[in-house]
Structure 1
Amino acid sequence: MKPGRVSRGSQGWLMTAVAPWGENAEDAYDQGLVELGLGDTRLIEVKGAMLPLNFEATPPRPLPMGSLVECHMATAYSYNGSSACAGVAWASCVTPEGDECAVVATISTEMDYEETTLLLRRNLQRRLASRDLEVITFDVAVDEVTAGAEHHGVAMAALILPNSLSLGGKKSSGPIRGGLTVPEDKKQKRVDVKAPAAPALRPGSKRSGPSSDFSL
């Protein structure tokens, strides 16, 4: 195995779905989950840019009923003939130190498919640039929904990670990158300035000095 490479094991895939005929937003969302293949799962929607270091893109597959699934998801809602788009993108990257990693980006808009795809690519590029990462390969998935008349619609895009929660933290994480942390000796020292405490008063005792009457 080459230096900086990690063993593969955290599999995942991109999926999109639309549901234009929901009676309400919650109904449309549930229909979208079914179309994504997540209708029978226990779903954990995660945030953040980083994927497990051993991420590998694979073809979609059916998931067991009741399984616990990690998912990076974008959801866009529409109503009564309006349109919306949702998209997810991921990229396999390498750090300047030679460590491989993977990054994900999501977006939800009321723009059309082409504009949303461009914005999603820009979001992914910014995440790579802010972490000083060089892209190796990437993939993008965007979908657009137009809600039915007097109905709620939803567009959903997801990066589904069915087994990342069972791998354990040590297998899916890597070294701490020195350039992205602040050394202890350079952290700004905190200075606490506290007002002097007021003298304690016994019940029924009067405060010394001029008194004020705040009664109504």
Structure 2
Amino acid sequence: MQSSNTPTCPGWLMTAVAPWGENAEDAFDQGLVELGLGDVRLIQAQGAMLPLGFEATPPRPLAMGTLAECHLATSYAWNGSSASAGVAWATCVTPEGDECAIVATIATDLDYEETVVLLRRNLQRRLASRDLEVVQFDVAVDEVTAGQDHHGVAVAALILPDSLSLGARTRTGPVRGGLTRTAAPEPRKRVDTKAPAAPARRPGQPKNNHDFTL
């Protein structure tokens, strides 16, 4: 198994609920404050792959203005209804022995237990589609019930506070041929050459007897 020589990329899972929002945006903002991200500049990341060198660590306070990469799951509820959101990570190994880590998210209107099951299935599918062997994993799910005549939100996040830092030394892994499409050269466009069309003649127009032979 090959180990990364780069500094680890710390990250942690957090969940929060906010059941008393005046609107969906207000509920979401309250959820960010509960997560400890109220003063942070968020970059919401997409995709399953985490930075190489990811390592789960305990949460820590983030300074005002910190630029942080986050994988977020957000689920909304209204007026007594419920919703759940969850995030999971897994460290894993490729068949070639390279270490990596992936993340999965989910947002549902189901209860906590059902959402945990679906989140674990999402994580398993992402591992299987990339032919990865899991080393360890963790999940975090939360459920909210909105207050009467109010908006509620459940937020789950994987927070990576150092992956976007200026001067951070990040690296990429090998290109895995079986999972990467190769760009094929575009076929040459066919150019059809047509003979010039004969001049159109109106009915009754005399025939043109000009000779254009050389």
Structures share fold, TM-score greater than 0.5 = yes
Give secondary structure in 1 for the equivalent of 2:95. Answer: coil
Deviations 1:165-206 (A, max 9, x none): 12768624211112212345xx3754657899xxxxxxxxxx
Matched-pair contact (CA < 8 Å) for 2:16–2:31: yes
Q: 1:15 to 1:189 in 2, by over 3 A?
A: same
Amino acid corresponding to residue 108 of structure 2 in structure 1: T
Partners in 1 of 2:29 and 2:39 — Cα distance?
A: 10
Task: Note the C-alpha offset of 1:90.
Answer: 0.3
Q: 1:77 to 1:4 in 2, by over 3 A?
A: same
CA-atom RMSD in angstroms = 2.2
Amino acid corresponding to residue 163 of structure 2 in structure 1: S
Deviations 1:44-80 (A, max 9, x none): 1010000011000000000000110100000000000
Report the structure number with the largest CA radius of gyration: 2
Partners in 1 of 2:201 and 2:56 — Cα distance?
A: 75
Aligned to 1:142: 141
Partners in 2 of 1:46 and 1:188 — Cα distance?
A: 31
Give the TM-score normalised by structure 1.
0.84
Matched-pair contact (CA < 8 Å) for 2:162–2:168: no
Amino acid corresponding to residue 29 of structure 1 in structure 2: F
Partners in 2 of 1:89 and 1:167 — Cα distance?
A: 27
Partners in 2 of 1:105 and 1:37 — Cα distance?
A: 21
Partners in 2 of 1:209 and 1:133 — Cα distance?
A: 73
Aligned to 2:206: none
Q: 1:79 to 1:181 in 2, by over 3 A?
A: same
Partners in 1 of 2:179 and 2:131 — Cα distance?
A: 10
Aligned to 1:98: 97
Q: 1:101 to 1:78 in 2, by over 3 A?
A: same
Q: 1:83 to 1:191 in 2, by over 3 A?
A: farther
How high is the sequence identity, in percent, across the aligned residues? 70
Report the count of equivalent residues. Answer: 195
Give secondary structure in 1 for the equivalent of 2:30. Answer: helix
Residue number among 4, 28, 35 corresponding to 2:2 in the alignment: 4
Q: 1:150 to 1:99 in 2, by over 3 A?
A: same
Gaps of 5+ in 1: 197-207, 211-216
User: Do structure 1's residue 126 and structure 2's residue 129 form an aligned pair?
Assistant: no
Aligned to 1:203: none
Partners in 1 of 2:76 and 2:92 — Cα distance?
A: 32
Aligned to 1:74: 73
